[in-house]
Amino acid sequence: MSKNHYVAIMAGGIGSRFWPMSRSNFPKQFLDILNTGRTLIQSTYDRFAKFIPPENIFIITAGQYEDIIAKQLPEIALGNVLYEPSRKNTAPCIAYISHKLHELNPNANLICAPADHIITDEAGFRKVCMDALHFTAHIKALITLGIKPSSPNTGYGYIQFEPLAVSENVFKVKTFTEKPDLQLAKTFVASGDFLWNAGIFVWQVKNIIKAFEKYLPEMNEVFETEKVHFNTKKEKEAVARIYPQCVNISIDYGVMEKAENVFIIPASFGWSDLGTWSTAYNILDKDYLGNAVAGENVVVIDATQNMVHADKKKLVVLQGLDDFIVVDTKDVLLICKKEKEQEIKEYVAEIKRSKGEKYL
């Protein structure tokens, strides 16, 4: 393990498309959605701890999740958990950890990854990460990992890359496209030169800071002004001053789509962003009628192709439904056609308007 290798696990989202299981006070990264015995953030930490020094693994999340982090990851040092005072998307989050690490170690080589991804081929994932870290250690590059598409999925962003490799399995990025319609997605997949955007990035912190200087200069200046307080007792107060001055923007829009030194590594390591109930359905084992059931006390009769999640303490009997998502929690029952799952976020917004935040 290299002392210059670091990981930032981004764990501040609320996972609204996994409602009603995912709630604002206990979102999906802290849940064991697939009944593996480990929550998503625990599995992510375990994955990285196999090849990154544990003292170099950082969690970035919201302050309201402090107790959950302490309970689920007691092995991580308190100083390695960073709390954002507000949700401002991924650019401020990455600027924060990058400036903090640069003060600790100017040669820090950083992987930024979401806390809620599923990766089944951990050996393959480790190899790709190590290849990326090796490349960025020698080249002033911003690396993103791309997943070879298995279908024309419209829920993912796509990245087009140049046909000739600049190094072994490393390619220059041509274009980013955010969640295309089905016809365009089919065209992308058929072309063979588009990959799914996994949202996993690798770079030296000094090089991403240079990119912030060029493409998000106002945001970068705020962090530069306060960086003397990072890694001191005044860090929390400094971050509280910084975040209100930051725009709400993703690292993709803010930096990656504009920068010229962006490269991609095509990969296949059993990846899923577990962004929707259908992705959970695709991963879980099915019965002979194609039902994926996460729950020990569910009885399915004359029903096919359903995604069912229920508490083990409750008996759930499902009859006659085809291609539905059924999620039963202690205070909410969701029954939704799988084809409508992208609209769950809209349902949550409507519930907030009509019922307040009690069920969110």
pLDDT of 23-51, one tens digit each? 989 999 999 888 788 999 999 999 999 99
Task: Please give the Cα distance from 264 to 218 (Å, whole number).
Answer: 27
- pLDDT of 227-254, one tens digit each? 999 999 999 999 999 999 999 999 999 9
For residue 262, give the nearest of 216, 202, 195, 219 by alpha carbon: 202
To the nearest 5 percent, what fractions of the chain are helix, strand and coil?
A: 40, 25, 35
Burial class of residue 275 in the structure, from the number of CB atoms within 10 Å of its CB (0-12 exposed, 13-18 middle, 19+ buried): buried
**Distance between CA atoms of residues 231 and 235, nearest Å:** 6
In the chain, the N- to C-terminal Cα span, in Å, equals: 41
Angle subtended at Cα 184 by Cα 181 and Cα 185, rounded to the nearest 5 degrees = 80
Nearest to 48 by CA among 119, 148, 138: 119
Query: What distance in Å separates the CA atoms of residue 293 and residue 303, rounded to the nearest whole number?
Result: 12
Domains present along the chain, CATH in parentheses:
5-272 (3.90.550.10), 277-355 (no CATH)
CB 161 within 8 A of CB 178: no
Question: Do 108 and 102 meet the contact criterion of CB atoms below 8 Å apart?
Answer: yes
* Contact present, 208 and 92 (Cβ < 8 Å): no
> Residue 17: what pLDDT?
82
Q: What is the pLDDT along the chain (360 residues), one digit of tens a residue?
A: 789 999 999 998 888 888 999 998 999 999 988 878 899 999 999 999 999 999 999 999 998 999 999 999 999 999 999 999 999 999 999 999 999 999 999 999 999 999 999 999 999 999 999 999 999 999 999 999 999 988 888 778 899 999 898 998 999 999 898 887 888 888 888 888 889 999 999 999 999 999 999 999 999 999 999 999 999 999 999 999 999 999 999 999 999 999 999 999 999 898 988 888 888 898 889 999 999 998 888 999 999 999 999 887 889 999 999 999 999 998 999 999 999 888 888 898 899 899 988 889
